[in-house]
Amino acid sequence: MLKDITVLTQYVFDQILNSKEEINSKKHLYDTYRTLQKLINDIDLVANHYLVLDFQEEFLQGSSFGKPIDKWRYFLNEDLEKLNINAIEYLQKLNNIAFKDADCFNGSFLSQRFNFKSYYGFVRDNYSVGLIEPCSSDMIIVNLDIQRNDPEKRFNISKFQRISLETYESKVKLQKHLLEQKGILTKYFKCIKNYMLNRYNLEDLL
């Protein structure tokens, strides 16, 4: 979960941070940075709000949702849906970052890995960080297959995953994974912030 986002973030931002070339849009990089900030906050919410419960908690008992797992599923899915909205926005913004004067469809950093149109359509219509299935504790994820990186081919770039969250230990394991991804994204968030502070002024971003 979210591994595709961290890998692609590293891929794009490392190229920016390790080059002296100008990027195509300072404002667009700033907008991507702000969306990344929202994404990091949403990851924290998913990891620390309703995910890690053992269903013995008092606030889960006797609710109008039914069984404790039903209330857990409802509120965790709310958090996941919020995360998914910002994940989709972030991935689309990330797809537009390129070096200055690069071709829109073939010059963005991510177009070196994915067909631009295939990526755009999949992220817009089918991408999902994960949702808990009805009447279940399984999470269904539809993310980007980061192992497939030939932009000349229009093959299916999605990867389907099913994660069981039936046990408390499985929830703790997922929480740990989410916090690890948050840590990676926070590192790049700070790096891009410093990059912009050292190169841009307020007029560049307006």
Confidence of residue 70 (pLDDT cuts 50, 70, 90): very high
What is the mean pLDDT of the segment spanning 117-123?
A: 89
Domain boundaries, the chain: 3-205
The answer to whether residues 144 and 157 touch, using CB atoms and an 8 Å cutoff, is: yes
* pLDDT score recorded for residue 17: 93
| CA–CA distances in Å: residue 31 to residues 47, 66, 185 | 25, 41, 15
**pTM (2 d.p.):** 0.90
Helix, strand or coil, per DSSP, at residue 85: helix
Confidence of residue 93 (pLDDT cuts 50, 70, 90): very high
* pLDDT score recorded for residue 55: 86
Confidence of residue 153 (pLDDT cuts 50, 70, 90): low
Q: Higher pLDDT residue, 87 or 21?
A: 87
Report the alpha-carbon distance of residue 3 to residue 1 in Å, rounded: 5
